[in-house]
Structure 1
């Protein structure tokens, strides 16, 4: 219980005390937008690291060297918990926007930080709005900003992944960027069965080798979601076998 209280207090204090920081960042952006972006990125990453450490998360990272440092990428991951975002975002070396559900756009202050950091909000029940979001993500990638997506469309309640939605994978194909498969394990255990309390958990993040959609055979390119999901499933299976 104490970990939960401390994590929530820290998050609320960060958002409130960050109000003047947002103004300063806005001023910096007038002269140097890139400096503003990097500064915002590092501050939020620091806050996320503090939160997951307060919650007792022990982190094992595998294959981070697979992430190209000189080009934007499309991160594609399985989704188990809100902690998927907190932990993986803290690990991003360069500017990265996340595609999140539109309900987060209604959270005061948090929505400002998310928009500042190129996050996009997806209305799953509005095809026209969803397409607009995907097109904006493609434009961000072309501008040098990586994007992270969870193609299952929602957080899973079991260890079995839901089928990936193919549409979001078009970001990589249309922007010409590599896909980095990410396999996330045990984040559900941080809060599962004891909501809203957290418990210390060992989380593993695995980065697969880059997938270049435009270099794949036609059949695999046509089913890019299934192809990427199979890669992630293999990583999950390997991690599970290693922990037995």
Structure 2
């Protein structure tokens, strides 16, 4: 029955999702052209609020457990596990006060996806070519410098790819190490994402309705005197305990 309802509700979800992307593409352009970064960011925040709301067309619950004790005006590296494409809008919207930027594949920037490609190109993301290590490092360094100069934050998925089963893959160190090298005083904050992989367990059509999903922002890690490898392992262990305890 759930899958049958998925066939009915998924087109509604994608219609709403597509309308939001198409509608906000010119809005982003206008905001960036006439209002600069601040106006553009507000338009991106509004876009992602709409994308989060699309989940309700599937009767999917989006539970975001924020951490209000995190300070503003300081770079933060948010380290999260990665379960689906739909992990991203809640992170952008609910943590919008931190000006978080993503490390993304350059293919997405070049794909001409309404709103998404535009934001990746002009919103401050690090768009990396996985086949060109020199380009990838330069993009991450550029993001790291922007974090330092503007007190921006970064979202990073150290697994590299999405899991299809909810079981976490080992975290890689590279991107986090580069960000920390330029921002040694940055906070490292784990985020545990649970349940979003179930939304796409049948692929992109049909999507799974009536699926509870949660994002939990955990406490900053104590990274003083620790190597990047130790920091990443700490983040992985803490997130794994949260995720695998539920799955």
- Give the alignment of 1:162-173 within 5 angstroms: 162-170=169-177, 171-173=179-181
Q: How much has 1:52 moved relative to structure 2? A: 2.2
The number of residue pairs the alignment matches comes to: 234
SS in 1 for 2:165: coil
- Give the alignment of 1:33-72 within 5 angstroms: 33-72=36-75
Change (3 A) 1:63 1:11: closer
Paired with 1:232 and 1:88, the residues of 2 have a C-alpha distance of 16
Structure 2 gap ranges (5+): 1-6
Of residues 59-68 and 108-117 in structure 1, the stretch that sits farther from structure 2 once superposed is: 59-68
Counterpart in the other structure of 2:165 = 158
Paired with 1:177 and 1:112, the residues of 2 have a C-alpha distance of 28
Q: How much has 1:66 moved relative to structure 2? A: 4.4
Tell me whether 1:98 sits opposite 2:116 in the alignment: no
Counterpart in the other structure of 1:187 = 196
Paired with 2:228 and 2:29, the residues of 1 have a C-alpha distance of 44
Paired with 1:84 and 1:24, the residues of 2 have a C-alpha distance of 27
Counterpart in the other structure of 1:20 = 26
Q: How much has 1:163 moved relative to structure 2? A: 1.4
Structure 2 length normalisation: TM-score? 0.84
Q: How much has 1:19 moved relative to structure 2? A: 3.9
Counterpart in the other structure of 2:135 = 129
State whether residues 61 and 213 of structure 2, in contact with CA within 8 Å, keep that contact through their aligned partners in structure 1: yes
Structure 1 gap ranges (5+): none
Change (3 A) 1:86 1:3: farther
State whether residues 80 and 187 of structure 1, in contact with CA within 8 Å, keep that contact through their aligned partners in structure 2: yes
Paired with 2:117 and 2:66, the residues of 1 have a C-alpha distance of 31
Cα deviations by residue, 1:64-92 (Å, 9 ceiling, x for unpaired): 22433332311110111101112322211
SS in 1 for 2:164: coil
Q: CA RMSD in A?
A: 2.2
Paired with 2:29 and 2:159, the residues of 1 have a C-alpha distance of 36
Equivalent residue in structure 2 for 1:229, among 220, 225, 236: 236
Cα deviations by residue, 1:95-114 (Å, 9 ceiling, x for unpaired): 21111222211222321123
Change (3 A) 1:23 1:102: closer
State whether residues 167 and 244 of structure 2, in contact with CA within 8 Å, keep that contact through their aligned partners in structure 1: no
Kindly report structure 1 stretches of 4+ aligned residues shifted beyond 6 Å: none
Structure 1 length normalisation: TM-score? 0.85
Change (3 A) 1:16 1:158: closer
Change (3 A) 1:232 1:4: same
State whether residues 41 and 123 of structure 2, in contact with CA within 8 Å, keep that contact through their aligned partners in structure 1: no
SS in 1 for 2:193: strand
